[in-house]
Amino acid sequence: MKASIVLSALTAFTLKASADCFSTRLGYPCCSGNDVVYTDNDGKWGVENGNWCGIADTPSSAACWSLSQGYPCCSSSNAEVWYTDASGKWGVENGDWCGIPTGSTGGNTGGNNDDIDVTPGEQFTHNGNPFANKEFYINPYYVKEVEGAIAQMSDSSLIAKAEKMKTFSNAIWLDSIKNMQSWLESNLKGALAQQNASGKDVLTVFVVYDLPGRDCHALASNGELLANDGDFTRYKSEYIDVIEGHLKTYKSQPVVLIVEPDSLANMVTNLDSTPACRDSEKYYMDGHAYLIKKFGVLPHVAMYLDIGHAFWLGWDDNREKAGKVYAKVISSGAPGKVRGFTDNVANYTPWEDPTLSRGPETEWNPCPDEKRYLQAIQKDFKSAGIQSVYFVCDTSRNGKKVDRKHPGEWCNQTGVGIGARPQASPVSGMEYLDAFYWIKPLGESDGTSDESAARFDGYCGHETAMKPAPEAGQWFQKHFEQGIKNANPPL
């Protein structure tokens, strides 16, 4: 079987594993009720909690059992069996799953046994740079998002650029308990199937992002858990412990975890000015200690703590304070180990900007780009006694200097461009830079521009924030299109 067909089937396998109805593949939940508001080619839609949801079709007959799970029946009762689960036998047609009608024996079952192997093997252990000599896993949900974006395009050159986006790896965000339950194991299985089929180590990158009181200095991406003891217990038992269990099961494949973006940087700069950050401090610090103890002892898992970006912690006093905060956090998680740190997550600061220097324009920041920031903070963290100081820089949206008039602007900036492609050890002479990687998926909004929305943040209404913008994490077509047009290097 051609490799492209195998990869299509692997993508379909991952999406199927987390789907309850057709709408989950499109980024919307399933409805709990059956009130139809709208019908299109995808299916029947309802509205619950102010958001669209999909209504699962009731199968017209027992033979067409897969309809209730959002998948069609295969065109032939003798279709090749690719996978069998409690629901029934599954085939693949047109790169997507279909249910083989009940009562049929199905055709050749070679695909199920030979091509979709999700049996964990021997323990994998990271040795050195976790990104080096790995095949990067392609996020199937993002592939579907891009396919949806392409369907809205008419410009052939833009479509060609968008098609290329489907070939690059980016991180999978576990930004709620529900999304973690949907996306963690299914993508671990998908990566393992790819690894077992190719014989190459396949690296999957997840973002752990659900601390109580999350994003305490902003509103656009506040999370589901509040800064209280009850929700901290949920964070540990329903989120971190569940992640740990799946990681222990899928021990034969490399995994990277990007840990709680913005959280510790807020502990460095915003405790005095923001009451919500003071309320969250205990849960941020104790949460990191808990997860480091859990994940940091797993030999196939490498963790990177978030350090904001050049225009957050770049100043000398902020970097010095950061060294103390991060050293304390890492030691609190012993015996767990941390590989390093990630910068520029979901931000726009260029890797290099020779037009900027320490002066009034940069508020006397000696680190006005990410390269200079990492060069400086690497020395500071070493001086603070941190032993393992390596970095992953998010280059998903920093290929072009955006239009922002102040470097602190972070929401849906106009002028955006895709940056350097995901790559291990990308810069000669910076052996402590493990990778450039796309952590924030281009096209997913930073926050809504609707001033009446509960999670509206003033930054998303600023002059250089693109409008109108949907809620954080929802698809933002115009921002995606601008990002691929301005890609540097070009797509």
Catalytic residues: 215, 262, 446
CA 445 vs CA 155, 213, 475: distances in Å: 23, 20, 6
Is the torsion defined by CA of 38, 40, 46, 49 positive or negative?
Answer: negative
Pairwise CA distance, residues 102 & 88, whole Å: 8
CA 71 vs CA 58, 100, 131: distances in Å: 12, 11, 35
Tokens in use for 287? 């949460």
